A and B are shown apart, each in its own frame.
Chain A
């Protein structure tokens, strides 16, 4: 992938099931500064609608996403 956004942090949630990726994402976002970007890596297919719903409710935008094999990646910028 050539157009991946600049990333400040990586959150490895591979192998974790609902609700752990969202719980970990929530905790990490609280530690971040406004404007920083985290990339969340997950393998639970439920992560796609979950990250979208989380972003919609918290106001931290999902700025990019992709998938390589079973690993989905979500870039989220702290509002």
Chain B
């Protein structure tokens, strides 16, 4: 099975950047590709409980959708979500602050995943 790894660095301060890596990963999962998203730098702020329900992914006409919809779709199709501790520390977050379905990894595990993936795509 083909493998893709997305790296998501955008956070709550750039809502227009928040959904794209997530729905591309969702599409990959729908293509039977094994896919994960590594949330780092500001990415983990999107995974704080309660945030994605109110964070609106903007559209030109003001009819944006909440990020939570994109997250639920991704998790439902089996996209794996990863974070690492230092990027949580950057924002004063702990694992307990995060939504269900997020796996903690470290830098070594991330590098190993990157080496094992067919492609790594960074946002």
Interface of A toward B, CB cutoff 8 Å? 18-19, 22-23, 25-27, 50, 53-54, 57-58
Contacts and interface: CB of A to CB of B under 8 A. Distances in A.
Interface string B26-50: 1101111100000000000000000
Contacts of B26: 19, 23
9 shortest interchain CB distances as A-B pairs: A26-B30, A19-B27, A57-B31, A22-B30, A23-B30, A58-B32, A19-B23, A54-B31, A22-B27
Nearest to A23: B30
Contacts of B2: 57
The bracket for how many chain B residues form the interface is: 10 to 19
Contacts of A57: 2, 31-33
B77 interface: yes
Contacts of A27: 30
A25 B44 CA distance: 30
B15 to A, nearest CB: 18
B73 interface: yes
A25 B32 CA distance: 12
Contacts of B23: 18-19
Interface in B1-58: 2, 23-24, 26-27, 29-33
Given A22-B30, A26-B31, A54-B30, 6 more contacts: A18-B23, A19-B27, A19-B30, A22-B27, A22-B31, A57-B33
Interface in B92-120: none
Interface in B59-105: 73, 77
A40 to B, nearest CB: 13
B94 to A, nearest CB: 32
